[in-house]
A and B are shown apart, each in its own frame.
Chain A
Amino acid sequence: MTDTMRDSPVPEVDKALENPPLGARISRKIQSSWKSVVVFLPYSWLLIFFLLPFVIVAKISVAEALIASPPFSSLLEWTDEGILTIRVVIDNFLYIFQDDLYVTTYLNSIKISSISTLLCLLIGYPIAYGIVRSPPTTKNMLLFMIILPFWTSFLLRVYAWMGLLADQGTINNLLIDLGVIETPIRMLYSEFAVYVGIVYTYLPFMILPLYANMEKLDNTLNEAAADLGAKPTSIFFTVTLPLTMPGIVAGGLLVFIPATGEFVIPDLLGGGNVLMIGRLLYNEFHANHDWPVAAAVAIALLVLLVAPMMLYQHYQAKEAEAR
């Protein structure tokens, strides 16, 4: 009796699994196609708006400069014998890596953006920490103030800094009126001004990821550390800092990557005195009309920046794994 009871239901269950009712099958199909739509959308976005322009720029970077419209040779060419040939010119890349100007400019860009990132971190970290620790109503206010500058044009804000830093600008005038100095301090058109501009502009990109990360921190961990005899500084280095590392990495990359390719800030605040790759690129493109070299500069910059991006991806994957 038990045997029949045990035997009979099993094949039925099997059948039910193999042949689910029509409704279930349809809903499963919709589900899976919905899933592919969800996956497909961002990919097509990336394809159209990132990969395609990139391919075009890459194509130009291996072309030759011509006085024509467009001002570069095409990749595919028909020879006189009617054979399709591909012309790849790597001279542009060789040129930028052999020319001292480009190499120094790359290095200088990286130096400036690294130092700016560090400054943003040093300023942003305590700010983010302060925001997380403040009561809820103040917290929203403070967060709002962090994003507030985005409501005005970025260009306008940089011009405002020019007004502040100029020889006859607000700061110098104020210091002279107060009798602190007699002749104006040269601030505009220097590396200092570029640092000010970059740190000012990108600080929110450091603060927001740090804030998001610190918001998740469990305060009982600090209590536990204190309970086990750790002093506040020691708690910071053994508990808080390691746990906010993902925020530091995210914020750091969000500042470092755009700052390296920054054009407006070095152009307006640095003048001719600060070499950054964004300005060089602009010059190649507009002043020299050398599109292929400009494209090569851009591609090299991209490769330069892809490395830290990969690092970030790797870090995030590890982070996800740890969860």
Chain B
Amino acid sequence: MSEQQAYIDSPWLDPDAEPFIKVRGITKKFGAFTAVNNVDLDIYRGELFCLLGGSGCGKSTLLRMLAGFEQPTSGSFSIDGVEMANVPAYERPTNMMFQSYALFPHMTVEKNVGYGLKQSGVPKSEIEDRVNDILKLVELQDFKKRKPHQLSGGQSQRVALARALVKEPKVLLLDEPLGALDKRLREQTQFELMNIQEKVGITFIVVTHDQEEAMTLSTRIAVMDAGQFSQIGTPTEIYEFPESRFVADFIGSTNIFEGRVAEESGDHVTVDTEAGPVLIDHGMSVQNGARVFIALRPEKIQLTKEPPVAAGPNQAKGVVEDIGYLGDVSIYRVRLDNGTLVDVTAPNLVRPKNRTHKITWEEDVYLSWSASSPILLTK
């Protein structure tokens, strides 16, 4: 793959690429409270960008500023090269799907979805066709004549999604678009979102606090915490190379051990932790004796009943305290001899005989992991 090819798939790596949406130093204060704090962001054309973060961290506020409902306290941003500060909401090239859906209660589903097209003067017959198409997409073609109060939560959500999609704007802002849908419909709609995005090349910004959704959907994820970005990166980067404890903990589950650097050399680091000595084979410049954190994903730990052949780093001994059976995998909560709790997930490779697991409660187990798995974090 040539360098140029790589840039088409990941334009954020191309130093010459011009971002489609440029956010520069945006801050939003509500009184004394800062909801969004001096944020910079570049989003490229055709991206499906996820904003991920806990409740109240400022995701909706950021989106509302992009849509033009909220004026930034300071900072500026542009879409497709056009500075947005003085562009009113109704002239922005964005459509938003509201977290509260905001369906017009006095209009039928059909009228709700067609509203935007009608406002921009699309001919009646074309409105009808496009509304029908988009309603088919969200499986609501039989609900055209219903009013919003006659719909279930998930149906309302799909109407809101259809209403935002139908105008095919340059930028689609989706605030928790799939939260109320069941798993099947959610996966299907996720798939459709990606399809639409590929087909029409709309740039999506999707807010979610479902990290699994963010991982499947997005080209890149921004993890937000208290009005700031903790990290921006591809799903893999965010998951495998988190830059802080917050990100490691927020995306997927993680064991975090506190420790002190015992040995530091060019290509490996040894850290003394509550889980014993941890050897990491990817270097990172840290001071000897510095206080650091080790993040270790539960699925990267091996669980056996057989003791290891030789003593060494990256292994520990404990007792199974709890087992959570999730079907495809099971989560084992292991208490180490010094009292530290470690979560380990193991795939259920075989159907358990006698309806019991090979490893059960109160059993002595041995944990081990490879030197490439632990992540060294300094914050």
Contact = CB atoms under 8 A, between A and B. Distances in A.
A229 B120 contact: yes
Given A218-B102, A230-B90, A322-B147, 6 more contacts: A220-B98, A221-B104, A224-B104, A226-B90, A227-B67, A231-B90
A228 B107 CA distance: 15
Contact of B104 (A227, A239, A322, A323): A239
Given A218-B102, A242-B106, A243-B106, A227 B90 contact: yes
A229 B105 contact: no
Interface string B84-111: 0000111110111010101111100000
A223 B69 contact: yes
Interface of B: 67-69, 88-92, 94-96, 98, 100, 102-106, 115-116, 119-120, 147, 149, 163, 167
Contacts of B167: 228-229
Interface hub of B67, B106, B163 (most chain A Cβ within 10 A): B106
A226 to B, nearest CB: 4
A227 B89 contact: yes
Nearest to B105: A243
Contact of B100 (A220, A225, A238): A220
A228 B69 contact: no
Interface in A228-267: 228-232, 234, 238-239, 242-243
A220 B102 contact: yes
Judged by DSSP, the binding face of A is helix
A227 B149 contact: no
A286 to B, nearest CB: 49
Contacts of B88: 226
A240 B363 CA distance: 67
15 contacts: A220-B98, A221-B102, A221-B104, A223-B69, A225-B119, A226-B69, A226-B88, A227-B68, A227-B89, A227-B95, A228-B115, A229-B116, A239-B104, A243-B105, A243-B106
Contacts of A232: 90
A137 to B, nearest CB: 15
Contact of B95 (A220, A228, A231): A228
A69 B100 CA distance: 69
Contacts of B90: 226-232
Interface hub of B68, B69, B91, B95 (most chain A Cβ within 10 A): B69
Contacts of B89: 223, 226-227
Nearest to B94: A227
B301 to A, nearest CB: 45
Contacts of B116: 228-229
A224 B94 CA distance: 11
B61 to A, nearest CB: 13
Nearest to B89: A226
A230 to B, nearest CB: 5
A61 B40 CA distance: 81
